[in-house]
Amino acid sequence: MLATCAHGIPLRSARGAKAGVGTRWQSGSMSAPLDGILVIDLSRALAGPQAGQMLGDMGARVIKVESDTGDDTRGWGPPFVGPDDAHISTYFLAANRNKESIVLDLKSDDGRDVLTRLAQRADVLIENFRPGVLGRLGFSTQRLHELNPRLVVLSISGFGHDGPEGGRAGYDQIAQGEAGLMSVTGSDPDDPQRVGVPIGDLLSGMNGAFGVVTALYERERTGLGRVVRTSLLASVIGAHAMHGTNYLVGGKVGRAQGNHHPSIAPYGLFQASDGPVQVACAAESLWVKFAEAFGIDPTTSGFETNRQRVENRDAVVARVNEALAGHTSEEVLATCARVGVPSGKVRTIDEVYTWDQVASQHLLQKLDHPVLGQITVPGSPLRFDDNPYAGGRADNLPPPGLGEHSQAIRTWLADDE
């Protein structure tokens, strides 16, 4: 007998999937890329849950294991939505769709027993405890692989699982500062700023999900799982891009310089008569087109090449702002479009979600929430050519209530013995 969750969807056993036989659960009328993959998500806050959500978006069945107080983000707000006696954090809604929730006390015999049975059936286990905590609970990576040699374990930490500072707690803004990102973000070197979203957490989740699918692919050849590790520190440093090679190879230390590219000019935020616009002259031909369209001599001394323009950035920015001051932002954007120079607005969040281009890319996802009714959330950034939806599945589930699926999951485990 196959149990069903609160949404009426079959609760799959991963045993058949691992053996290459059995029922293949499908998302709506089509098979999702990760159908048959069972993920146990022990993580909380954002980095681990983001990885779990990405796997769930691709069709994996994701079981979120929570304490009786729930994921920390259930209490992060305002804003909260819903009735007074059932406030729901919009922060939690951001990283927990396509999951089921079971409440377990991992310090109790019952909690450890249920997690043991889940680990034996799972393909993936995600955790972001401080290094060593999961081992003290009785689930070291060695023990997990004794229970299930095919298990892929994703471990996300703040600063790495080893090294002189491997035990440090990791929070996004702290990692942004420690990993150098804040030093290259802001109006100038004396104005370090964090990125406006928790980018360290999000990148760690993305890197973790990529590591998981890589390990699952490898498992097809070896039959064995492995431990995948990433951290906020590693993920932010991995996103340094040219700032990393500028220093390591070129010996140049990057500094915050506002809304202008460190290696290309003009490329950044400029002022039209009624507000800001962004222009990117990332090739010499684009610079010539842009300059001629706005009455600037592209051969002005010090402006002839990109290298010269970067060296004389202040003068270039001043000249471009002077040229654009006689035009509205819409006029600037229309002229740039006509001559083929990349440009754009600076939209507020509400403007983004009411933009028809965003809707056309299926980046708005409607979910039927048991408390809130129909809600709209940002959709998966991935699309597949045979799927009209964003993401890999057609039957996306709302973020779960705390322990919403506890009984159904226990019933499934008992039936699957």
Give every CB contact of residue 92 below 8 A, 6+ residues apart in sequence.
71, 73, 74, 76, 399
Burial readout 76-106 (b: 16 or more C-beta within 10 A, e: otherwise): eeeebbeeeeeebbbbbbbbbbbbbbbbbeb
Helices (H) and strands (E) in the chain, counts: 17, 13
Classify residue 255 by burial, with Cβ atoms within 10 Å: 0-12, 13-18, 19+: middle
Q: For 139-160, how does the pLDDT look when each residue is reduced to its tens digit (9 = 90+)?
A: 999 999 999 999 999 999 999 9
In the chain, the amino acid numbered 285 is S
Whether 286 and 296 have beta carbons less than 8 Å apart is answered as: no
Question: Is residue 7 predicted with pLDDT exceeding 60?
Answer: no
Question: Is residue 33 predicted with pLDDT exceeding 60?
Answer: yes
Residue scoring higher pLDDT (233 or 383):
233
Domains of the chain: 14-238+361-415 (3.40.50.10540), 267-347 (3.30.1540.10)
Q: Is the pTM of this model over 0.95?
A: no
Query: What is the pLDDT at residue 2?
Result: 37
Beta bridge partner(s), residue 39: 62, 124
Whether 279 and 320 have beta carbons less than 8 Å apart is answered as: yes
Find the helix or strand (DSSP H, E) in which 387 lies: none
Mean pLDDT value of segment 380-402: 85
φ and ψ of 204, to 5 deg: -65, -40
Q: How far is CA 226 from the centre of its chain?
A: 22
Tokens matching residue 263: 């290696």
φ and ψ of 376, to 5 deg: -115, 130
Percent of the chain at pLDDT above 90? Answer: 86
In the chain, the amino acid numbered 161 is H
Residue of 105, 201, 350, 386 with catalytic role = 201
Does residue 201 have an active-site annotation? Answer: yes
Rounded Cα gap, residues 203 and 239, in angstroms = 8
Question: Is residue 4 predicted with pLDDT exceeding 50?
Answer: no
Query: What is the pLDDT at residue 20?
Result: 33
Question: Is residue 228 predicted with pLDDT exceeding 70?
Answer: yes
